[in-house]
Amino acid sequence: MQVEVAETAGFCFGVDRAVNAVYKLLEEGKKACTLGPIAHNPQVTGDLREKGVLAVDSPAGAPPGYVLVIRSHGVAREVEEEIGRLSVPCVDVTCPSVKKIHRLAREAGEQGRVFLLFGDGDHPEVRGITGHCTGEFLVCRGAGELQTLLKNRPDLSKLPIAVAAQTTFHAGEWQNCLGILKKVCTNAVFFATICNATAKRQKEAKALAQKCHRMVVIGGRDSSNTAKLRDICAEYCETYLIERADELPAFPAGLRIGITAGASTPASIIKEVLVTMAEVNNNELNFEEMLEESLKSLNTDEKVHGVVVGISPTEVYVDVGRKQAGFIPANELSNDPGVKPEDIVKLGDEMDLLIMKTNDQEGTIMLSKRRVDAMKGWDEIQEAQESGEILTGKVIEVVKGGVIVLKGAMRVFVPASQATASRGEDLNALMGTQVRFRIIEVNRQRRRAVGSIRSVLREERKAAQEKFWETIEEGQAFTGTVKSLTNFGAFVDLGGVDGMIHISELSWNRVKHPSEVVNVGDTVDVYVKGLDRENGKISLGYKRPEDNPWVKMEREYPVGTVCDAKVVGMTAFGAFANVIPGIDGLIHISQIADHRIEKPQDVLKVGDEVRVKITEIDFDKHRVSLSIRALLEEEQAAADEAAAEAPANEIVYSTELPADEPEE
């Protein structure tokens, strides 16, 4: 007797992920319950039940303290909302392929299309999908029901429709349905939603059944995809559907037996069936050869080639051409902890992987991509050290004593003394940035590579300085960044070379400290006021001549101008008042009032708003003289003049008696 096992028999990545999620919760000491059976396999559900895992019918059935697991079939939108409303702790392991159909169902309604889904209306996956429909939807089991539907609904031929299928739908039946629809419907869009693993499994089962005398399909009798495998195989040869090894019939000698298994069948049951067949048929030698060929025991540290068949937020599922289901944890994809799996790989990507751990009981292999990449990266790092090549990488961690730079898959340590252009700079500012660096040390035995950012920065700075001094001229304008502040000015990075703005050049107004005008990190427009090439010093100007308040004073405030001013200072000989921003004038004590005063404070105080007249301006010495008294005297003179010009016939009344008339 010859036995051949289908290449993709057993767990699909969706079911594998769901089952592993439950076992992981148990390993973490948590209580778990599943929304319906986690898999259509009595052995799997029985083992979980013995470990205390409950199967509930609704979110409300989850006992307090239990974590609810949404299986790979997915659930309707209203169930998701109920979970949120009840605040039930939840782990959602809906198959990514099913999630895609949820989105298509929702978008079909939003676009005004009728959603036509091929599948079993009673299957939990189909109920979950239709629960995400936002418009009219229809469910058909196959071509026969489709013909009846089109007869009863002739309007469908002209309506916009979106067509999809349950992930485990019969691939051949799907093609039959498409053939009918494409002839009848003029406004339809079709989506290939049958899971790739399902399609491949069905194709292999068909090919195997065509060349075998008997077929054994292993899986739960309630499993939709297992039932379809049985139906496919039964078209070509006698087929048996079994759940356990003890259900195997005794096959006559000399037959060729094919074995396949549904997506919910773990590798351990497939292996048990193979062992039993060998014992029943007393063919130990063939069994050993068969087992070695079909299961291909994988050893840790072995390299394999895989194809990405699924992506989730926490891991990537890979087909490595073996019975075991391969998965790559997110932390084994890349050395960069900040990236997401979907940023690194996409469905269909092929890659070399390293086996980290195998689990024959569950039929899984844990794989690593980053370790294979790191092995390849050592040669590049070694060559870069020898040649002095400048590399580019991303700072992914700030650690004690330095930073970690990721170059490809290689983690390069850069000490704090080599991380910045000068000591004392904040290393956190480098986090997430792209940096250029050199490799200064490689130790393969310790798996350690050390780099230097500073050496590159200094070379770049030196080159920039040389080029800068070749072209710089007085009066040249620059846009720079304020690098540091001192009491006497601000230092500005002009692009590899620093210049200084003296405090007197920051503003036309008086400032006590540069921070009143600029801050570290500000972008400023400056111009070169002076150059000291011998000592490498650059004096910068910041305030603009056109903003000079004395220019405005000369243009808009000539001598004789009357304006409002604010008292800003007091002295024994007078008060200073601000005329315009940047210019204060002196009101001498003799010009504060129209009578003698002992001190300015008798009339004025700081903050007073006063009306003044500009009596004198000395532009060379930057002095302005102001007077309140001049305005008061002008007002009095105007009043006297008005009184003198009063009409002659105006009667003036007086209470005083003439001096030459006696009193009565």
**Distance from C-alpha of 22 to C-alpha of 51, rounded to nearest angstrom:** 10
Token pair in block for residue 196: 């790739």
Q: Answer whether CATH 2.40.50.140 is correct for domain 472-547.
A: yes
Contact assessment for residue 184 and residue 143, using Cβ atoms and an 8 Å cutoff: no
125 annotated active-site? yes
Q: What is the pLDDT of residues 110-137, one digit of tens each?
A: 999 999 999 999 899 999 999 999 999 9
Q: Report pLDDT for 664.
A: 42
The predicted structure's pLDDT at residue 360 = 64
- Give the Cα separation of 162 and 457 in Å (integer): 58
The C-alpha atoms of residue 141 and residue 224 are separated, in whole angstroms, by 12
Tokens of 650: 């105006």
CB-CB contact of 555 with 588 (8 Å): no
Write the pLDDT tens digit of every residue in 67-94: 999 998 999 999 999 999 999 999 998 9
Cβ-Cβ contacts under 8 Å for 409 (sequence gap 6 or more): 334, 335, 370, 372, 373, 374, 376, 377
What pLDDT does 160 receive?
94
> What pLDDT was estimated at residue 460?
83
Cβ–Cβ < 8 Å for 172, 209: no
pLDDT value at position 322?
67
Burial class (CB in 10 A: 0-12, 13-18, 19+), 512: exposed
Q: Environment class of residue 198 by beta-carbon count within 10 Å: exposed (0-12), middle (13-18) or buried (19+)?
A: buried
Is the pTM value of this prediction over 0.75? no
Residue ranges of the chain with per-residue pLDDT less than 50? 282-300, 654-655, 661-664
- Tell me the CA distances in angstroms from 613 to 581, 592, 595, 622, 633, one per residue in order: 17, 11, 17, 17, 12
> Residue 11: its pLDDT value, please?
67
pLDDT of the residue at 607: 92
Q: Do domains 197-295 and 472-547 have the same CATH topology?
A: no
- Select from 3.40.470.10, 3.30.9.10, 3.30.300.20, 3.40.1010.20 the CATH code of 197-295: 3.40.1010.20
From the options 3.40.1010.20, 3.30.750.24, 3.40.50.9100, 3.75.10.10, give the CATH code of 97-194: 3.40.1010.20
Angstrom distances, CA of residue 354 to CA of 52, 305, 312, 319, 446 = 34, 9, 20, 13, 20
3-state secondary structure of 544: coil
Measured between alpha carbons, how far apart are the two ends of the chain, in Å? 164
Half-sphere exposure (Cβ direction) of 221: Cα atoms closer than 13 Å: 6
pLDDT in tens, 184-240: 988 899 998 887 777 788 888 999 999 999 999 998 888 878 888 999 999 999 999
CATH topology of domain 554-643: OB fold (Dihydrolipoamide Acetyltransferase, E2P) (2.40.50)
- Give me the architecture of the 373-457 domain, per CATH: Beta Barrel (2.40)
The pLDDT of residue 288 is 42
Which of 125, 243, 315, 332 is an active site residue?
125
Give counts: helices (H), strands (E), the chain: 16, 32
What is the sign of the dihedral through the CA atoms of 454, 458, 460 and 461? positive
> Which pLDDT belongs to residue 286?
45
CATH of 303-368 among 3.30.479.10, 2.60.40.10, 2.40.50.140, 3.40.630.10: 2.40.50.140
Domain boundaries, the chain: 97-194, 197-295, 303-368, 373-457, 472-547, 554-643
Residues 6+ apart with CB under 8 A from 475: 527, 528
Q: Report d(CA 328, CA 315) in Å as an integer.
A: 5
